[in-house]
Amino acid sequence: STAVLGFVPYKGDWLEVEYYVEPDSSNIKACSVKPVICKPVEEVCITSLNGRNGVLDDSIFFTLDSLKLPDGYIPQLYDVVDAVVVESILPCYTWRAVSITPVRRSK
């Protein structure tokens, strides 16, 4: 699986969490959080943009609030991008993009 440095979970992500229970208490502390499935996808198109949210190839959700982008790049409708996606249970979407990199800009 593709590692995601600085991964920030988002509502709906399937997660693998390592944790421990503090001795003599019921406090649970998370040691690490990572996506259950993380994979690269190549040359997908931004098919929808609505405020801070968007969709790749009508099937992969993204939000600018938790998306890693190259410096200076602002996603535009119909840009072709490479992405790293994680499995999600968001309504209508089973994948969420955590990073995108432009391959071709829309004209």
pLDDT(1) > 60: no
Q: Report domain extents, the chain.
A: 1-107
Residue 50 CA to residue 20 CA, distance in Å, equals: 40
pLDDT band at 2 (very low <50, low <70, confident <90, very high): very low
pLDDT(100) > 50: yes
The CATH number, out of the four listed (2.60.120, 1.10.150, 2.40.50, 3.90.1720), of the domain defined by the range 1-107? 2.40.50
The pLDDT, as a whole number, for residue 31 is 81
Q: Model pTM?
A: 0.76
The pLDDT, as a whole number, for residue 107 is 63
Per-residue pLDDT tens over the stretch 26-61: 888 888 878 778 899 999 999 999 999 999 999 999
How far is the CA of 88 from the CAs of 11, 20, 104, in angstroms? 8, 25, 26
- Say which residues have a Cβ less than 8 Å from residue 33's Cβ, sequence separation at least 6: 7, 9, 15, 16, 17, 18
Give CA angle at 106 (49, 4), nearest 5°: 60
